[in-house]
């Protein structure tokens, strides 16, 4: 939600900031804007809509030369997505410019205070309040850093604020609470941004800031303090992916590239995590064997696609560890007074590591002394940092808003955790674990095989471009896959799509079936006996009522053929691993459907990649 960039150095700040915004646009695209420190004044330009609109406005004018600047790409919370509410926002005298990610929860009271002091605010945003307050502190004699600290101490909620001023040409000050902020450490130049992607082409040396820290950057210096002004330190890290990972590399969309990267992402997530004798070692899990043996309940919390990975985690965790496992939407968990204690392990799954609902749920769990294990794709992000332990997926940067490779690697991570628990608790013999790990190692080539056969799925999307409803049916681990297929289609193709547990069909959803309604059915492997046979009956039932059945089934599954209008053959894999292959055609279908319907695949309407507000 909202991408922010700040730059101080010797290069043209406008170019650096705009390029940074381009790489952060996935975080929000309701409006975009920049502020440059130009002589004794601030230059700002901002436009509602995507970055291209801002680019156009800037090209039509003559922006001044500047080497200090800030920029913003917005996902609107307070105030409509129009030019007036676009960031940056200025203080009353126009000498301080501020960009912001998050929500300042006490902004109404602060706004009332400013208005009663005679200040006129020009927008409906919470951000403008911060700009006015910072400038007011400077008017009273504070420097920009001190002003930022003073104001941050008065703010409630979640925020990353980045400010600059024409009173001092060569500095940008940023602060964070509950929202992401990283510093890029260059030679004679420094950066602040919501994500390393913004500065990766300039430097791969970075620093993450902790909660309630303020950083002041100049071309030569990076100074970190806490909100009280005490010297503090950020945590330095090296970004180990390069610029190519953040480029489309010839694909029309990031989503297509990320779908294609899935075999590698899975292989990377497995890499080095088991020893030559087939035992799992998960070094990052900083929980002792004793603590892991003491766990009597697991609760998985997550949102969206990560929640679907969590639903799958339940099957594998309970199957291999026999520890009871609940799965809950992070946004619900926190508010229902869940039963959690020191013997509970909470697994928080989040690609970005910044999702506010998941973060708040994990804090709630830790307050009750549960052990929290994060599964995340983003090194050093808030959720892993605040957890007791972490298992990183290694999908590389996921830029398309629709999650694909992160999902498959989250499923793999859940398998690894379940097997690790089984190993530590002595529930599985070494050779059993080795055998399962060998099956996992074959998954990248199985996914690659599916990717090689998806052209008919694209063709089907082109044929079905005009339908209004698509349904998805699954049983057992096929059920979360059905939910994920429907979510992808909703978010990308803006159509009615629903996933159901096939056993629920006759309890209501079957009423939705009418002539020609496309229904994707995920069929368990043939070897699953009753489970498989029940699914075949379900296909027959919906087909008899006119559904157009698109059946995903194991290669050579003769039993389903008579009831399948379309048959998508999946490589034979064990049942618990089937979601890793069955999800792929559904991703491809949604992506193609969005293209056919003329939508922006990478930036679907109303959405943003990381949801950093509740």
- The single residue among 127, 216, 403, 603 that binds ligand M6R, judged by CB under 6 A, is 403
Report the C-alpha gap between 485 and 499 in whole angstroms. 7
Min separation Cβ 279 and ligand M6R, Å:
29
Which of 106, 34, 40, 104 minimizes the C-alpha distance to 72?
34
Cβ distance 275 to 430 under 8 Å? no
Min separation Cβ 2 and ligand M6R, Å:
15
Min separation Cβ 410 and ligand M6R, Å:
8
Which of residues 85 and 358 has its CB atom nearest to ligand M6R in the complex? 358
What torsion, rounded to 10 degrees, do the Cα atoms 15, 16, 18, 24 define? 160
Site residues for ligand M6R, 235-274, by CB under 6 A, read: none
Binding to ligand M6R by residue 523, rule CB under 6 A?
no
* Number of residues engaging ligand M6R in binding (CB under 6 A): 16
Binding to ligand M6R by residue 414, rule CB under 6 A?
no
Q: Which residue has the tokens 């794709």?
A: 377
- The single residue among 30, 45, 491, 592 that binds ligand M6R, judged by CB under 6 A, is 491
Report the C-alpha gap between 37 and 95 in whole angstroms. 9
Which of residues 36 and 303 has its CB atom nearest to ligand M6R in the complex? 303
**Residue nearest ligand M6R by beta-carbon distance:** 304
Stretch of 94-102, 289-297, 335-343, 400-408 lying at the interface with ligand M6R (CB under 6 A): 400-408
* Widest CA span in the chain: 81
Cβ distance 70 to 99 under 8 Å? yes
Binding to ligand M6R by residue 402, rule CB under 6 A?
yes
Binding to ligand M6R by residue 611, rule CB under 6 A?
yes
Report the C-alpha gap between 492 and 497 in whole angstroms. 11
Min separation Cβ 403 and ligand M6R, Å:
4
Binding to ligand M6R by residue 303, rule CB under 6 A?
yes
Min separation Cβ 576 and ligand M6R, Å:
21
Binding to ligand M6R by residue 486, rule CB under 6 A?
no
Which of residues 399 and 437 has its CB atom nearest to ligand M6R in the complex? 399
**Cis peptide bond upstream of 88, omega within 30:** yes
Which of 92, 79, 89 minimizes the C-alpha distance to 125?
79
Report the C-alpha gap between 275 and 306 in whole angstroms. 28
Min separation Cβ 148 and ligand M6R, Å:
28
Q: Which of 2, 325, 414, 591 is catalytic?
A: 2
Binding to ligand M6R by residue 194, rule CB under 6 A?
no
For 87, which DSSP code? S
Report the C-alpha gap between 477 and 577 in whole angstroms. 9
The pair of three-digit structure tokens given for residue 362, joined into one six-digit string = 């994990």
Which of 40, 91, 48 minimizes the C-alpha distance to 72?
48
Which of residues 6 and 304 has its CB atom nearest to ligand M6R in the complex? 304
Binding to ligand M6R by residue 306, rule CB under 6 A?
yes
Report the C-alpha gap between 208 and 294 in whole angstroms. 33
Catalogue the E-assigned strands of 393-512. 469-474, 496-501
Cβ distance 546 to 516 under 8 Å? yes
Stretch of 185-193, 285-293, 398-406, 591-599 lying at the interface with ligand M6R (CB under 6 A): 398-406
Reduced to 3 states, what is the DSSP secondary structure of residue 549? Answer: strand
Q: Which of 257, 371, 526, 609 is catalytic?
A: 609
> Residues with Cβ < 8 Å from 121, sequence gap 6 or more?
111, 114, 115, 128, 129, 132
Report the C-alpha gap between 195 and 183 in whole angstroms. 9
Q: Which residue has the tokens 């009615």?
A: 496
Binding to ligand M6R by residue 374, rule CB under 6 A?
no
Binding to ligand M6R by residue 583, rule CB under 6 A?
no
Per-residue burial over 175-195, b = 16 or more CB atoms within 10 Å of its CB, e = otherwise: bbbbbbbbbbbbeebbbbbbb
Stretch of 83-91, 304-312, 364-372, 434-442 lying at the interface with ligand M6R (CB under 6 A): 304-312
Binding to ligand M6R by residue 591, rule CB under 6 A?
no
- The single residue among 125, 164, 216, 305 that binds ligand M6R, judged by CB under 6 A, is 305
- The single residue among 137, 610, 612, 613 that binds ligand M6R, judged by CB under 6 A, is 610
- Determine whether 56 is an active site residue: no
Min separation Cβ 484 and ligand M6R, Å:
8
- Determine whether 414 is an active site residue: no
Binding to ligand M6R by residue 401, rule CB under 6 A?
yes
Binding to ligand M6R by residue 304, rule CB under 6 A?
yes
Site residues for ligand M6R, 341-360, by CB under 6 A, read: 350-352, 355, 358
Which of residues 145 and 358 has its CB atom nearest to ligand M6R in the complex? 358
Min separation Cβ 355 and ligand M6R, Å:
3
Q: Which residue has the tokens 């097997």?
A: 419
- For 502-527, the DSSP string reads GGGGGGTGGGG--TT-EEEEEPPPGG
Report the C-alpha gap between 404 and 311 in whole angstroms. 16
Residues that bind ligand M6R (CB under 6 A): 303-306, 350-352, 355, 358, 401-403, 487, 491, 610-611
Active site residues per annotation: 2, 609
């Amino acid at each position: 939600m909202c991408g922010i960039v700040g730059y101080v150095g010797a290069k043209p700040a406008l170019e650096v900031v705009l390029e940074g915004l381009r790489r952060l646009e996935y975080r929000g695209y309701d409006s975009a804007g920049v502020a440059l420190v130009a002589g004794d004044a601030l230059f700002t330009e901002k436009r509602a809509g995507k970055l291209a609109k801002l680019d156009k406005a800037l090209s039509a004018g003559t922006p001044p030369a500047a080497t200090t600047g800030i920029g913003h790409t917005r996902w609107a919370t307070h105030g409509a997505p129009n030019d007036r509410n676009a960031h940056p926002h200025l203080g009353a005298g126009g000498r301080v410019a501020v960009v912001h990610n998050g929500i300042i929860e006490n902004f109404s009271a602060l706004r009332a205070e400013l208005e009663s002091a005679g200040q006129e605010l020009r927008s409906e945003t919470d951000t403008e309040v911060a700009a006015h307050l910072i400038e007011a502190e400077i008017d009273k004699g504070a420097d920009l850093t001190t002003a930022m600290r003073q104001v941050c101490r008065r703010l409630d909620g979640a925020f990353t604020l980045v400010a600059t001023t024409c009173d001092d040409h060569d500095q940008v000050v940023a602060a964070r609470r509950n929202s992401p902020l990283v510093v890029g450490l260059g030679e004679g130049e420094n950066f602040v941004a919501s994500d390393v992607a913004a500065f990766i082409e300039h430097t791969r040396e970075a620093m993450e800031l902790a909660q309630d820290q303020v950083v002041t950057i100049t071309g030569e210096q990076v100074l970190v303090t806490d909100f009280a002004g005490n010297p503090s330190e950020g945590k330095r890290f090296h970004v180990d992916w390069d610029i190519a990972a953040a480029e489309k590399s010839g694909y029309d969309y990031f989503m297509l590239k990320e779908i294609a990267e899935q075999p590698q992402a899975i292989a990377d997530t497995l890499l080095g995590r088991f020893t030559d004798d087939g035992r799992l070692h998960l070094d990052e899990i900083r929980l002792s064997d004793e603590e892991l043996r003491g766990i009597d309940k697991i609760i998985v919390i997550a949102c969206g696609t990560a929640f679907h990975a969590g639903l799958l985690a339940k099957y594998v965790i309970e199957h291999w560890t026999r520890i009871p496992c609940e799965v809950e939407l992070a946004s619900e968990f926190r508010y229902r007074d869940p039963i959690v204690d020191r013997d509970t392990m909470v697994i928080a799954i989040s690609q970005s590591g910044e999702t506010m609902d998941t973060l708040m749920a994990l804090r709630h769990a830790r307050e009750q002394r549960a052990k929290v294990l994060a599964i995340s794709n983003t090194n050093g992000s808030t959720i892993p940092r605040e957890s007791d332990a972490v298992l990183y997926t290694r999908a590389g940067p996921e830029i398309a808003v629709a999650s694909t490779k992160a999902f498959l690697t989250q499923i793999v991570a859940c398998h690894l955790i379940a097997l690790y628990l089984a190993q530590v608790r002595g529930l599985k013999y070494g050779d059993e674990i080795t055998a399962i790990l060998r099956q996992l190692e074959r998954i990248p080539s199985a996914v690659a095989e599916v990717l090689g056969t998806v052209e008919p799925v694209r063709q089907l999307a082109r044929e079905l471009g005009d339908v209004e409803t698509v349904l998805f049916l699954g049983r057992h681990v096929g059920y979360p896959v059905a939910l994920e297929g429907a979510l992808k289609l909703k978010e990308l193709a803006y159509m009615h799509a629903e996933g159901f547990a096939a056993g629920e069909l006759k309890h209501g959803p079957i009423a939705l079936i009418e002539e020609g309604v496309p229904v994707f059915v995920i069929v368990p492997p043939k070897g699953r006996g009753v489970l498989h046979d029940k699914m075949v009956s379900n296909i027959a039932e919906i087909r008899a009522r006119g559904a157009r059945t698109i059946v995903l089934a194991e290669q050579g599954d003769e039993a389903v053929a008579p009831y399948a209008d379309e048959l998508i053959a999946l490589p034979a894999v064990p049942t618990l691993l089937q979601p890793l292959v069955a999800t792929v055609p559904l991703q491809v279908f949604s992506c193609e459907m969005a293209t056919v319907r003329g939508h922006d695949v990478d930036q679907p309407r109303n959405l943003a990649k990381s949801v950093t507000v509740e």
